[in-house]
Amino acid sequence: MRIHYDEKPYDCNICGKRFKSHSSLHRHKKIHTGDNPYDCDVCGKGFTHHGNLQIHTRTHTGDKPHDCDVCGKRFSQLGALQRHMRIHTGDKPFDCDVCGKGFSEQGTLHKHSRIHTGNKPYICDVCGKGFSYPGNLQTHMRIHYDEKPYDCNICGKRLKSHSSLQRHKKIHTGDNPHDCDVCGKGFTHKHSLQIHMRIHTGDKPHDCDVCCKRFSQLGNLQRHIRTHTGDKPYD
């Protein structure tokens, strides 16, 4: 009956958490005492509850008893299946307090919040640049070591990231999904469209520190600078 009336008469004298039964409280207290009586026969890791040990052993056996009714993907834990189902249902119970964007998992929301806080905990050991996500740091490190693990199967060009490879392949397919609203010209990349729009708007965000002449593209400014420096890279 306590399930129906949400009664929890047993409380933990350490953290205050409340439980419906004495046995649940007893199992909970093992978290505080560090008592892990259930050991894994394979790796020796200990667990407070027998159920947790049973779930853990699936990492060794590969057993995935929970399968998705929609796509058939299988999971070792029920909680992982429940989180996966949000992909199909579109359920996003975790909302960002700043912008209101919804997320299906709390961990994803936590990572998203770094956009607003500016928190960049992943630091490059070479140049000290910070990143919000570990994947971004890994991609950045390829700049220092000139690693290009992704190669185009059409022309053989190698690129540092999978996203760069996807953008590059549009050159071969002729896919120009980004159209100019003014003249209708199509571009493979959104950034290329943004630069193109300066032709219509007259925007020139790049200015020369020497003569103050302004340019719509950074490359044009860099070439212009040579008139002041006398640099002639092409012999």
In a domain, 148, yes or no: no
Residue 109, pLDDT > 80, answer yes
Residue 24 lies in a domain: yes
Task: Look at residue 68 and tell me whether its pLDDT is greater than 90.
Answer: yes
Q: What is the pLDDT of residue 123?
A: 92
In a domain, 110, yes or no: yes
Q: What are the tens digits of pLDDT across the range 115-133?
A: 888 888 899 998 999 988 8
Q: Which two tokens stand for residue 222?
A: 């860099």
Mean pLDDT (whole number) for 61-73: 91
Alpha helix (H) residue ranges in the chain: 2-5, 22-33, 50-61, 78-89, 106-112, 114-117, 134-145, 162-173, 190-201, 218-229
Residue 134, token pair as written in the block: 């570990």
Is residue 76 assigned to a domain?
Answer: yes
Say if 121 falls within a structural domain. no
**3 state DSSP class of 61:** helix
Domain count, the chain: 2
Q: In residues, how long is the chain?
A: 235
The pLDDT of residue 1:
82
In this predicted structure, the answer to whether residue 160 has a pLDDT above a threshold of 90 is no
What is the mean predicted confidence (pLDDT) over 202-218? 90
pTM reported for the whole predicted model:
0.41
Q: Any idea what the CATH number is for the domain that residue 39 is in?
A: 3.30.160.60
Q: Is residue 169 part of a domain?
A: no
- Residue 188 falls inside a structural domain: no
Which residue segment(s) compose the domain that 45 sits in? 2-61
